[in-house]
Structure 1
Amino acid sequence: MVNKVDILAIGAHPDDVELAAGGTIIKSVQQGKKVAVVDLTQGELGSRGTIETRYDEAKNAAEIMGVEYRENLKMADGFFENTDENLRKLIVAIRKYQPEIVLGNAPSDRHPDHGRGSELITRACFLSGLLKIETEFDGKPQEKWRPKVLYYYVQDRYIKPDFIVDVSQQKSIKFDAILAYKTQFYQPDAQGPKTPISGQDFLDSLEARLIQNGRDIGVQYGEGFIGERIIGVENIFDVK
Structure 2
Amino acid sequence: MKLDILAIGAHPDDVELSCAGVLIKEQSRGKRTGVLDLTRGELGSKGSAEIRDHEAADAAKIMKLSVRENLAFADGFFSNDREHQMEIIKIIRKYRPEIVICNSPQDRHPDHGRGSDLASVSCFLSGLKRIKTELDGRQQEHWRPKQVYHYIQWLELKPDIVVDITGFIDEKIDAVQAYKTQFYNPDDKSEDTPISTKNFLNSIKYRSANYGRIIGTDYGEGFIAERYPAVDSLFDLI
Please confirm whether the aligned pair reaches a TM-score higher than 0.5, indicating the same fold: yes
Amino acid at match of 1:107: P
Counterpart in 2 of 1:84? 82
Counterpart in 2 of 1:63? 61
Deviation at 1:192, TM superposition (A): 3.3
Counterpart in 1 of 2:146? 148
Deviation at 1:207, TM superposition (A): 1.6
CA distance in 2, matches of 1:93, 1:176: 27
Counterpart in 2 of 1:134? 132
Counterpart in 1 of 2:34? 36
Q: Deviations over 1:83-106 (max 9, x none)?
A: 111000100000001000000001
Counterpart in 2 of 1:220? 218
Amino acid at match of 1:35: T
Counterpart in 1 of 2:112? 114
CA distance in 1, matches of 2:63, 2:161: 22
Q: Structure 1 vs Structure 2: percent identity of aligned residues?
A: 55
CA distance in 1, matches of 2:80, 2:161: 28
Aligned length: 238
Q: Deviations over 1:137-195 (max 9, x none)?
A: 11111000000000000111011111101111000000000000000011111253310
Asked whether the 8 Å contact 1:11–1:40 carries over to 2, the reply is yes
CA distance in 2, matches of 1:18, 1:228: 21
CA distance in 2, matches of 1:192, 1:4: 43
CA distance in 2, matches of 1:129, 1:90: 12
Q: Deviations over 1:118-155 (max 9, x none)?
A: 00011000000011111111111100000000000011
TM-score (norm 2): 0.98
Amino acid at match of 2:81: T
Amino acid at match of 1:176: D
* 2:68 aligned counterpart, secondary structure: strand
* 1:115 aligned counterpart, secondary structure: helix
CA distance in 1, matches of 2:172, 2:235: 28
CA distance in 1, matches of 2:232, 2:177: 37
Deviation at 1:216, TM superposition (A): 0.6
Amino acid at match of 2:41: G
1:14 corresponds to 2:12: yes
Q: Deviations over 1:173-230 (max 9, x none)?
A: 0000000000001111125331000011001122221111011100111100010101
Asked whether the 8 Å contact 1:99–1:147 carries over to 2, the reply is yes
* 1:159 aligned counterpart, secondary structure: coil
TM-score (norm 1): 0.97
Asked whether the 8 Å contact 1:48–1:193 carries over to 2, the reply is no
* 1:43 aligned counterpart, secondary structure: coil
Counterpart in 2 of 1:75? 73
Amino acid at match of 1:106: S
CA distance in 2, matches of 1:82, 1:191: 37
Amino acid at match of 1:172: D
Deviation at 1:239, TM superposition (A): 1.8
Q: Give matches, 1:162-181, under 5 Å.
A: 162-181=160-179
